[in-house]
Structure 1
């Protein structure tokens, strides 16, 4: 089983984890890390501590913004991994649920990454579809 790390600005990562635990119950090998008021140096130290516990394991890191500080701090440290390491920006609750569902189905990290890359980030409701939605 691979590790999942959720890294965001503020408390979003922790809130994502709270919601996931309400849906799935207790979760192993998943961590949430938020960049709060502590600053980049302190956040980087927390990233180092977290990565020290997963350095020889496969890891999927899901961040809020590609190019944001949490994303960049993990990207800078990606060379420390001898195992599979995948970093995504643009995390959402549907992406997290999909990743966990696939992991629970014993999909490999490579398979999960392939499927996550196929996800569309948004579902759009078109006004002209309103009649069909009301019929359901």
Structure 2
């Protein structure tokens, strides 16, 4: 089964640091592409940078972005019409790690990767105080 490429597009260097943090836990990653929207980049510059990556990729792609409605989300979403991939907002460390690990096995199909990433992102957002109260 073909592995899926992962693009992480965020405001600032959040995505770059997210991958570095994940690599502390899971080791080095491959087929992961970061695009950082920095203050000096225009919408057009950012779109060109994303499209340059998309043109190089063959096969399936999942894009993880930080904020729904922000420039990374909007750019990646607009480009889905041309390149046909899924965009998931609200990227977080557990979501990325689980997606990467499932993808690296090559045994999880594309649509399941998307569904699992959404579920994992949501289930790993908890109030730890509430969790402790349930255990008492």
TM-score band w.r.t. shorter chain: 0.7 to 0.9
89-98 vs 38-47, greater mean Cα deviation = 38-47
Task: Tell me whether 1:110 sits opposite 2:111 in the alignment.
Answer: yes
Cα deviation code 1:34-82 (max 9, x no counterpart) = 100222121111011111112x410000000111100100111112225
Give the equivalent residue in structure 1 for 2:66: 64
1:40 maps to 2:43: yes
Moved over 4 A (4+): none
Structure 1 residue 49 and structure 2 residue 52: aligned?
A: yes
TM-score (norm 2): 0.85
Give 1 or 2: higher helix fraction.
2
Rg larger in 1 or in 2?
1
Q: Which runs of 5+ in 1 are unaligned?
A: none
5+ long unaligned stretches in structure 2: none
Match of 2:95 in 1: 95
Kindly report the root-mean-square deviation, in angstroms, between the aligned alpha carbons of the 2 structures. Answer: 2.0
Give the TM-score normalised by the residue count of structure 1.
0.85
